[in-house]
């Protein structure tokens, strides 16, 4: 039995580690000139992963932490497509667009808030710019079931899209009303049927625990409904309540949020629930069928983590296109402007709309590897790290290993001469465990850390 009351002590602000260093460390010292230098030294043998941010939504979902533009005006969407084309034209003069593309992802916003014909324009622009998609490229789109039609699916199918991710979050009407996202089970089921009829083999369903008015009992019902939809993957995220960053989150009554003890109980039940229904846990918040490539990757220790979540497509340069998109190279991160006027101004000046980024030093690259291995595979091969980076692990990370002592005492982690291994219970606290290897976090007093709670 897990003593959830005792484990609530681990509920503290901490990164989700979609990157290391985290986005808080990005700054304007890394701008277009720095990115241009990286592109000048590009390794054309490395494949590309493309992320396109389609930022528009009709109205706010109060839980959402994404960078969104609320509108009902068609001309804004048309204008945005024009600027995507301009951005790709600039990009094609700086990067070898004949490099293999192994991944393409549409995120938002609500990508299918664009009309089917508008989406087709975007896809055609991409395919005319990047011509070398591999046969097994992962081509995916995030979808709000309330804005999804057969016409959208026809366009995505023609564009080669093979993975669809549906946002659900919770099926309880009271929870839905509290987060301003009313979406019936029938609407979601119909959207998934459209995708299946369109030939999509991989369907992901997103859920969130920790939302207002959620309880252990209500989330159990949501899980029952969700699994009846027969998704291939499920992502079950811990709600990140960051009202200092997202004004819409201030509309949520914090007294209605479940406490850490309840959230841990929900998470433990969720893990058991999916495993009892034939799914395997992948990373800290994903579940997949045993024949899914995500699970096969974790068995081989080849699962990777980036801004798009868990992926099998490692070793690629991520190119972010569109408002607020993030890119990633072997030793840098870069992010586009979040403000539409600044985004357009940069492009009109003939440069990529870079706002900020960071060049990783040797220590950053090493710690990035350690943290991402733990976050992805719940296991770290110490000898492999020593060989690859030329260090004495226990000497280099003496402080991090010291921080793991309490987790070892709770049997959440095992540390040997060869491996750091996280226990099944420890996976629920993987962010806390990874934080011990974060050099930047150690410089910030806990009371000043501006992250969501880990539990």
Residue 9 has pLDDT above 90, yes or no: no
Q: Which domains does the chain have, with CATH numbers?
A: 1-13+362-455 (1.10.10.920), 22-321 (3.80.30.20)
Look up residue 443 and give its two tokens: 């410089």
Question: How confident is the model over 223-233, as a mean pLDDT?
Answer: 97
Phi-psi label, residue 148: left if phi above 0, alpha if psi -120 to 50, beta otherwise: beta
Residue 38's pLDDT band (cuts 50, 70, 90): very high
Instruction: Classify residue 288 by burial, with Cβ atoms within 10 Å: 0-12, 13-18, 19+.
Output: buried
Residue 2's pLDDT band (cuts 50, 70, 90): low
Residue 1 has pLDDT above 70, yes or no: no
Residue 156 has pLDDT above 90, yes or no: yes
Question: How confident is the model over 222-236, as a mean pLDDT?
Answer: 97
Residue 194 has pLDDT above 70, yes or no: yes
Residue 455's pLDDT band (cuts 50, 70, 90): confident
Q: How does pLDDT run across 275-329, given as a tens digit for each residue?
A: 999 998 887 788 999 888 887 787 777 788 777 778 887 789 999 999 999 999 9
Per-residue pLDDT at 283: 77
CA 76/CA 383 separation, integer angstroms: 53
Give the 3-state DSSP-derived string for 163-229, with helices as H, strands as E and coil as C. Answer: EEEEEEECCCHHHHHHCCCCCCHHHHHHHHHHHHHCCCCEEEEEEEECCCCCCHHHHHHHHHHHHHC
Question: How confident is the model over 332-360, as a mean pLDDT?
Answer: 98
CA 49/CA 31 separation, integer angstroms: 21
Per-residue pLDDT at 215: 96
Question: How confident is the model over 339-367, as a mean pLDDT?
Answer: 98
Residue 377's pLDDT band (cuts 50, 70, 90): confident
DSSP-assigned letter for residue 27:
B
Beta-carbon count within 10 A of 162 CB: 17
Question: How confident is the model over 324-342, as a mean pLDDT?
Answer: 96
Of 42-46, 159-163, 310-314, 347-351, give the lowest mean pLDDT range. 310-314
CA 411/CA 425 separation, integer angstroms: 8
Residue with tokens 């048309």: 78
Beta-carbon count within 10 A of 402 CB: 10
pTM over 0.85: yes
Residue 172 has pLDDT above 70, yes or no: yes
CA 212/CA 220 separation, integer angstroms: 15
DSSP-assigned letter for residue 259:
P
The more confidently predicted of residues 285 and 160 is 160
Residue 86's pLDDT band (cuts 50, 70, 90): very high
Q: What percent of the chain has pLDDT over 70?
A: 100
- 388 and 401 Cβ atoms separated by less than 8 Å: no
Per-residue pLDDT at 307: 76
The more confidently predicted of residues 378 and 221 is 221
Per 3-state DSSP, the chain is made up of helix, strand and coil in percentages (nearest 5) of 45, 20, 35
Per-residue pLDDT at 433: 96
Which distant-in-sequence residues (6+ apart) come within 8 Å of 422 by Cβ? 374, 378, 379, 412, 413, 430, 433
């Amino acid at each position: 039995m897990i003593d959830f009351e005792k484990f609530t002590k681990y509920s503290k602000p901490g990164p989700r580690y979609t990157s290391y260093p985290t986005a808080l460390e990005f700054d304007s010292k890394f701008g277009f000139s720095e990115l241009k230098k990286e592109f000048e030294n590009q390794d054309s043998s490395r494949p590309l992963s493309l992320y396109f941010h389609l930022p528009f939504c009709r109205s706010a979902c109060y839980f959402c932490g994404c960078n969104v533009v609320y509108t009902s005006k068609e001309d804004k969407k048309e204008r945005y497509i024009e600027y995507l084309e301009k951005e790709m034209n600039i990009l094609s003069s700086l990067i070898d667009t004949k490099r293999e593309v192994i991944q393409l992802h549409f995120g938002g916003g609500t990508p299918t808030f664009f009309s089917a014909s508008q989406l087709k324009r975007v896809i055609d622009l991409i395919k005319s710019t990047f011509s070398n998609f591999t046969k097994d490229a992962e081509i995916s789109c995030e979808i709000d079931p309330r804005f999804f039609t057969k016409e959208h699916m026809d366009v995505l199918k023609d564009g080669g899209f093979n993975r669809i991710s549906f946002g659900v979050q919770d099926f309880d009407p009271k929870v839905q009303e509290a987060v301003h996202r009313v979406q019936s089970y029938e609407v979601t089921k119909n959207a998934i049927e459209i995708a299946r009829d369109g030939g999509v083999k991989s369907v992901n369903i997103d859920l969130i625990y920790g939302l207002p008015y959620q309880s252990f009992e209500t989330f159990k019902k949501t899980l029952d409904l969700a699994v009846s939809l027969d998704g291939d993957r499920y992502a079950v995220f811990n709600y990140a309540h960051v009202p200092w960053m997202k004004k819409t989150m201030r509309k949520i009554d914090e007294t209605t949020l479940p406490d850490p003890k309840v959230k841990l109980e929900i998470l433990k039940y969720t893990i058991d629930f999916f495993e009892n229904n034939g799914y395997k846990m992948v990373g800290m918040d994903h579940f997949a069928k045993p024949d899914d490539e995500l699970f096969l990757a974790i068995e081989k220790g080849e699962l990777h983590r980036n801004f798009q979540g868990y992926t099998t497509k490692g070793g690629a340069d991520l190119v972010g296109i569109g408002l607020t998109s993030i890119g990633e190279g072997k030793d840098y991160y870069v992010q586009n402007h979040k403000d539409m006027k600044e985004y357009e101004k940069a492009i009109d000046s003939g440069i990529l709309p870079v706002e900020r980024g960071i060049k990783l030093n040797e220590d950053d690259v090493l710690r990035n590897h350690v943290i991402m291995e733990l976050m992805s595979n719940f296991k770290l091969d110490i000898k492999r790290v020593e060989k690859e980076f030329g260090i004495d692990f226990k000497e280099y990370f003496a402080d991090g290993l010291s921080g793991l002592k309490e987790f070892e005492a709770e049997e959440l982690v095992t540390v040997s001469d060869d491996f750091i291994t996280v226990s099944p219970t420890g996976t629920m606290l993987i962010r806390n465990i990874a934080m011990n290897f974060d050099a930047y976090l150690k410089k910030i007093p806990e009371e000043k850390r501006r992250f969501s709670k880990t539990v």
